[in-house]
Structure 1
Amino acid sequence: CYMRFKDRGTLERSDKDKKPPPTGVKKCAYSGCEASGENIKFLVIDAGCNAGGKDWSALADSMLCQTCYDRYRKHGTLDKADAKPLDGSARKCMFDQCDKPEDSRRFVQIDGESAAGGQDWSSLAGVLLCMACYDRFRKHGSLEKAPRKKAPPGPPKKCSYHLCPQPDDCKKYIKIYGDSTAGGQDWSMLDGNTLCLTCYMRFKDRGTLERSDKDKKPPPTGVKKCAYSGCEASGENIKFLVIDAGCNAGGKDWSALADSMLCQTCYDRYRKHGTLDKADAKPLDGSARKCMFDQCDKPEDSRRFVQIDGESAAGGQDWSSLAGVLLCMACYDRFRKHGSLEKAPRKKAPPGPPKKCSYHLCPQPDDCKKYIKIYGDSTAGGQDWSMLDGNTLCLTCYMRFKD
């Protein structure tokens, strides 16, 4: 009975479960029934039947044909005259705030004694409801619609980066929190700002809001000439770049070159060395390619060395104490991430349990891949481990006690 109610929502047995009517002459208990023929299906009404939420007590142990049974289950009467379907004027939901009072596949006349959904329907006795309102009351115990929760306000729909080419024309904006670690970058300098998705991804991937050479705006059409007077670049295939105001490529100060046009060669020279003068930008010779941090493990073995500009803010660190110092990439990255050239001491792993089983009858006390230290307050396996508190067991003995 429990499973029947759980699966179907009724204690009444289905037609398949019902006891077969007695053999012999079969006749519907309703005097006005006109059913006849060999293929008529009959059902015996159980005492306590509540199919359709109707009161069947007057028909207990009676035999009904399928047609009369269905009529009573739907309308609560065997009389055909009383069981006529609702006409057009009556097919209207009586809840005054119903959105579509006449537009429902089915309407339900409420029986005040119903307990559908575990709700109290007595206040709605005799009321006609559409299926939407009926289901709402059955689920929530109220005909009123729950107010929809307003979504919390999102970030402002404008990018905070002053050089963003389309600050208010993006499908998605992200509010920045200074403690974010997305992409392994330091976001503290952008705390509270809002970025468009393009600028957000650029900072996440590169650690800078400045656009790369590929992103830069093309130089104006017409005659193209590098702003550096000593530039010797010539030819049709020379690439030129217009310097944005606020550019900080390579951690250099580009303010003096804002809105100037540089060829790719001069741009790269300034980005690496902070000068356009070739004489000042010679690559380091062999003797100078050495990290100046005295505790560096491999001071001369680096693919690249970085001359520190004391005004740099890379990684959100204060580099002023290292102004002019030459660092290998390993030491440079360590300071950029942690603000220190010192290596953090490696934490020693806590000592594990002794590698020997405490059970004196263990056949292989010191020959096991895993040992477990026992704590008396353990509840593993529902066992009392207090007697073994502080002991160490091999995995075999542990599992034996646990099981």
Structure 2
Amino acid sequence: MKFRFGLLPRVLLAIALGVACGFFLPGWATRIALTFNALFGQFLEFVIPLLILGLVAPGIADLGRSAGRLLALTAALAYAFTLFSGFGTYFAGRALFPALLSGSEAALPAGGETLGAYFTVQMPPVMGVMSALVLAFVLGLGMAYTQSVRLKEVMDEFKRIIELVIARVIIPLLPFYIFGIFLSMTRSGQVAGVLGVFVKLILVIFCMTVILLLLQFTIAGVAARKNPLRMLRTMLTAYVTALGTQSSAATIPVTLAQTVKLGVRPELASFVVPLCATIHLSGSMMKIVACALAVSMIAGLDLPTATFAGFILLLAVTMVAAPGVPGGAIMAALGLLESMLGFDETLAGLMIATYIAMDSFGTATNVTGDGAVAVIVDAVDRRRKRRQPAERS
């Protein structure tokens, strides 16, 4: 069997090498790594608006063209769970992180030797992030309303190009980018505090994902009058599979099989599960919000609740149709992190590294929660069908 060295091992190796090399690598070699980071950072700034336009517009068009009560119910439940995860994570983080991250505020200010890139090349984006997001909404809703075939084909081709850029350029180069970030932080004496935050954050987010799944299946249990713990245990097979694949799309066959075992009708599960693989992102939302809040706190950014509320509302839409590759959601979120929360290149790099380190947990949470959404939709639809004969009589 061919061994696959996935993105998570590569990112962890990049972090370890960055820390280790920071203690002995000469200044000229460090500056080469920082030059790569400067160029890659400029490329990211250029690509982010195109990424948002290429992913969000076709995703909205696909959702809009699929009509029906079940679509509306599934989309509403998925969006509600995603928003609940985002706001719940934010308020839980506000309560827990000040004590948890106490003493970490000095993790980012420079305290040692700082070096710069040899050179960089300016790559100004063709439009701003918010302009790209608004244009994506306008085009997506317009294509759905007018049933535009030609424009939809063009946008689908554009989406495939963006997905190739992510899968063949950005994702393979990310470990080198993260290596440069941790190399620089080690040289400047910041890395110990940052790694301490990493470990704390991973433990807290894992505990929060367990609580989120318990809440989702409790709601599903009430709707379907079933034991939530038994249903959650049935979905553990999908959870474990998603830990390995790091992709909701790749886990669809297993998620579908386990959802049918929950008592959901096969024809309904075949509709809800693939749809939720794209639009139900409560686990990804939890990771991004928790990481963004923690990073902003240790960076000393004083962000009001209203700013984070707007960020969460837009993030829930922006992540829709994120490509089925590890790290796709954080790539789609980078524009909002920079434009709404004021993250610079270093903070964005920390977000990427932290997110990818927990990518499996978020994907597994998304996939497992898909089963809860399917159970609720099935229960509501069964009640509606039982009421219809009574109303006719």
**Structure 1 and Structure 2 fold alike (TM over 0.5):** no
Q: Identify, as 1 or 2, the structure richer in helix.
A: 2
**Whose relative contact order is higher, 1 or 2, with alpha carbons under 8 Å and at least 6 apart?**
2
TM-score relative to the length of structure 1: 0.18
The structure whose Rg is larger is 1
- TM-score normalised to the size of structure 2? 0.18
